[in-house]
Amino acid sequence: MTDSFQNKTGFRLQELRDAIRAEYQTVASEPDREFHFHTGRTQARIVGYSDDLLDHIPPAALESFAGTGNPFNLGPIEAGERVIDIGCGAGTDSLIAAGKVGPDGQVIGVDMTERMLEKARRARAEAGFDQVEFRYGYGEDLPVPDGWADVIISNGVLNLMPDKSAALQEMNRALKPDGRLQIADIIVEKEVPTSAKRQTDLWTG
């Protein structure tokens, strides 16, 4: 994949992952800095989260929210279910999911950005949810067993993954039969020329 990816984009896979990680380390540590996307409660409201939902999230997690939609509007998540949150960031969606699955369910948030995971773990402790844990990993290589999840959520992350086909196949592996995908992401409606595909900021945002 690495060679074909570099041929298509001009980036080495690791180079692109490092750039994405650097961008989101900044969203974690300096969430009030100016980005080319909105962040925090402002962004959560834009994409359809109610204040009722957000008021239960520790502020340190919510301030680094950078999702592109609301996966919880796509269908219910039931008590006792198992959920994976791919690219969980500082943990806002994982904590919302933890509230929905309750103490008999489980949520695993996965992210490749250490500072986001540190914030997520602190937010989990603050929220007091034992049913959620945060693991380091990539969407293309999820640290979960086959057929583990009832639901996979992800918010603004699939577009950041260099190998989308591998990411979707990995989601398929991690889901139970009849398991659901509830994904928020972005689409472009105009063709992106090769020159633009070589702009790092278009990959990292």
**Contact positions toward other proteins, by CB under 8 A?**
34-38, 43, 46-48, 68-71, 73-75, 156, 165, 168-169, 171-172, 175-192, 196, 199, 201-202, 205
Minimal distance, residue 72 CB to other proteins, in Å: 10
- Give the closest residue to 13 by CA, choosing from 4, 24, 25, 22: 4
**Spatial strand order in the sheet of 132-136:** 132-136, 106-111, 82-86, 149-155
Residue 149: closest CA among 172, 121, 169: 172
Report angle CA 32, 37, 39 to the nearest 5 degrees: 40
Between 58 and 87, whose beta carbon lies closer to other proteins? Answer: 87
**Helical spans, DSSP H, in 50-91:** 51-54, 59-62
- Using CA atoms, how far residue 126 sits from 11, 57, 64, 73, in Å, is 39, 9, 16, 25
Q: Would you say 58 or 92 has its CB closer to other proteins?
A: 92
Query: Of the two residues 19 and 127, which places its CB atom closer to other proteins in the complex?
Result: 19
CA-nearest of 174, 157, 184 to 75 is 184
Q: Where on the phi/psi map is residue 117: left (φ > 0), alpha (ψ -120 to 50), or beta?
A: alpha
Smallest separation, CB 1 to other proteins (Å): 15
Amino acid identity of residue 66, one-letter, is A
Closest CB to other proteins among residues 58, 67? 67
Q: Min. distance of Cβ 125 from other proteins in angstroms?
A: 30
Nearer Cβ to other proteins (114/201): 201
Beta bridge partners of 107: 83, 132
Q: CB of residue 130 vs other proteins: minimum separation in angstroms?
A: 28
Pick between residue 103 and residue 147 the one whose CB is nearest to other proteins.
147
Q: How near is the Cβ of 126 to other proteins at its closest, in Å?
A: 28
Query: Cβ 124 to other proteins, closest distance in Å?
Result: 25
